[in-house]
Amino acid sequence: MDDLRDKYIQLIADAGDEAALEGLRVQAVGKKGEISLQMRGLGKMTPEERQVMGPKLNALKDEINSALAARKAALGDAALEERLRGEWLDVTLPARDRRQGTIHPISQTREEVTAIFAELGFSVAEGPQIDSDWYNFDALNIPGHHPARAEMDTFYMHRAAGDNRPPHVLRTHTSPVQIRTMEKEGAPIRIIAPGRVYRADYDQTHTPMFHQVEGLAIDRDISMAQLKWTLEEFLRSFFEVEAVELRFRASHFPFTEPSAEVDIRCSWEGGQLKVGEGDDWLEILGSGMVHPNVLKAGGTDPNVWQGFAFGIGIDRIAMLKYGIPDLRAFFDSDLRWLRHYGFAALEQPNLHGGLSR
Ligand code: PHE
């Protein structure tokens, strides 16, 4: 019994980890362990032998159990020590820089656009991203059967079975804000309405969610010439180059008459997009004189008031200005991309400081 005791005390002292210790526990005092088997042998002994051996075996078992527990505690302490050494951290070190986020190029662009139009006397209006089909289509002179509805790749909201009202839509453009502003403010009006819009489309220059800024100016004597001047002035300021070259293309929108789309001269060389040079044209906005039916829908008398409206793709002009070749990257939330293209926080764009320092 002394040999048994010496053997296990030594093995326990040498055990390097908890798994080895558990192996020894099973081997010594587990159900079929060496000491347990000896204890089972007590039954075959004479009462006298049993009286001597019983307490001795019990004492041995207790000794082994407490040796196991002591060793286990020691191993635990050592492991904790080891971890504390390894995971040591100096909390007095200065914070890492570059922990601050950056302003997303879309937010930056939106602020720049707002700053420029603010100087021209336009204030900011807003509308909901989920809108009724009346605001998104009908009020804008796009009746139910009109092909423009299909062309816009509209996302429709769900209606409960049996509810036959027309479904709400994710707005396909910011133009419904024209109607809402007319209803709310009445003429004269001079607003821009930046925000998110949605269409089911996806490639290098299209994403299902993108951004537009609507412009609306209504007064008694607003003309197409003023629309043209306003857009030229805006684009020159925005791109911070005198050489911005625009192409006004006769076009059609149900909510403007006449209508013009505006393309900007650019080059795409080597995947790099540059404004003001090259032989390519990129469409960046739609515009025109507000259709009398739209004025009427907004409660504005077309015999007294007239106006111009435009819708600019914010993401498009951000790509152009900052040389970002793929629109989809805007919405990937890739930190490396955001650090590369993002802007320092707290630097508000304004015209007197230079828009994009
Ligand atoms: N709403 C149009 C679009 O999404 C743009 C536009 C706005 C055109 C205002 C004319 C006037 O394409």
- Give the whole-angstrom CA distance, residue 277 versus residue 118: 28
Q: What is the CATH number of domain 105-344?
A: 3.30.930.10
Average pLDDT over residues 198-210: 87
Q: Between these two residues, 306 and 19, which has the higher pLDDT value?
A: 306
Q: Is the pLDDT of residue 357 over 60?
A: no
Given ligand 1 and candidates 137, 174, 224, 255, which is best to mutate, with the most ligand atoms within 8 Å of its CB?
A: 255
Asked if 247 and 281 count as a contact pair (C-beta separation under 8 A), the reply is yes
- Give the whole-angstrom CA distance, residue 59 versus residue 249: 102
Average pLDDT over residues 229-240: 91
Q: Is the pLDDT of residue 14 over 80?
A: yes
Q: Is the pLDDT of residue 90 over 60?
A: yes
Q: Is the pLDDT of residue 204 over 70?
A: yes
User: Ligand 1 pocket, 286 CB below 6 A?
Assistant: yes
Q: What are phi and psi of 285, to 5 degrees?
A: -160, 160
User: Ligand 1 pocket, 176 CB below 6 A?
Assistant: no
Q: Report CA 194 to chain centroid distance, whole Å.
A: 18
Of 216, 229, 175, 197, the C-alpha closest to 316 is: 197
DSSP secondary structure, 123-174, as one string: EE----SEE-HHHHTGGGT--TT-HHHHHTTPPBPP--TT--SPPPEE-SSS
User: Ligand 1 pocket, 310 CB below 6 A?
Assistant: yes
Per-residue pLDDT band for 117 (boundaries 50, 70, 90) equals very high
Per-residue pLDDT band for 280 (boundaries 50, 70, 90) equals confident
Q: Is the pLDDT of residue 273 over 90?
A: no
Please, what is the average pLDDT of the chain? 90
**Residue 202: per-residue pLDDT:** 83
**Residue 353: per-residue pLDDT:** 67
**Residue 298: per-residue pLDDT:** 97
pTM: 0.70
User: Ligand 1 pocket, 213 CB below 6 A?
Assistant: no
Phi/psi region, residue 223 (left: phi>0; alpha: psi -120 to 50; beta: rest), is beta
Q: Is the pLDDT of residue 139 over 90?
A: yes
Asked if 175 and 152 count as a contact pair (C-beta separation under 8 A), the reply is no
The 10s digit of each residue's pLDDT in 305-330 is 999 999 999 998 998 888 888 888 99
Q: Where are the domains of the chain?
A: 2-85, 105-344
**Residue 94: per-residue pLDDT:** 83
Q: Kindly report the protein residue whose alpha carbon is nearest to atom 7 of ligand 1.
A: 311
**Residue 172: per-residue pLDDT:** 95
Token pair listed for 143:
């009746």
Q: Is the pLDDT of residue 41 over 70?
A: yes
**Residue 243: per-residue pLDDT:** 76
Q: Is the pLDDT of residue 152 over 80?
A: no
Average pLDDT over residues 3-31: 91
